[in-house]
Amino acid sequence: MKKCDFCAREISYHEMYCSEECNKKANEFYELREKFSKLFAVLNGIFVMAIGICIFAFSFLPIFAVYAIATSLLVLAVLYFFCPFPPEVMIHKYKIKKSIKFCRIISLALLVLSIVTFSCAIIFMR
């Protein structure tokens, strides 16, 4: 059986979505992704590179680097939570609804990592 492209329910081979609601939500997702994908990619690239640069800068300015890494992680967590744009491979494998859920779980993990990094910076960098 074929599965709905949004919620992964089983459907007949002649349909793409199981209901009009899934069709509407999938179209909203694709429109939102098309509208904000370039901004998302630029912000994602900037803050991921910032983390790499700050890891290198840790040997020169440890306090600044740790706070910059924690801030970058926080920004990425917020970005992934409000703009959950999973890659096409993930959408193809898990469908849209579950892929968005995975992105939000990753954003919560980044938020926890950011809080832990801020806490470690406050405790150990005095």
Give per-residue pLDDT as tens, 13-57: 888 898 999 999 999 999 999 999 999 999 999 999 999 999 999
117 forms beta bridges with none
pLDDT digits (tens, 9 = 90+) for 85-119: 999 999 999 999 999 999 999 999 999 999 999 99
pTM of the complete model:
0.87
Residue 2 and residue 10 in contact, taking contact as beta carbons nearer than 8 Å: yes
Distance in angstroms (rounded) separating the CA atoms of residues 8 and 69: 37
DSSP string, 8-28: --EE-TT-S-SSHHHHHHHHH
Cα separations in angstroms, 34 against 29, 41, 104, 119: 9, 11, 19, 37
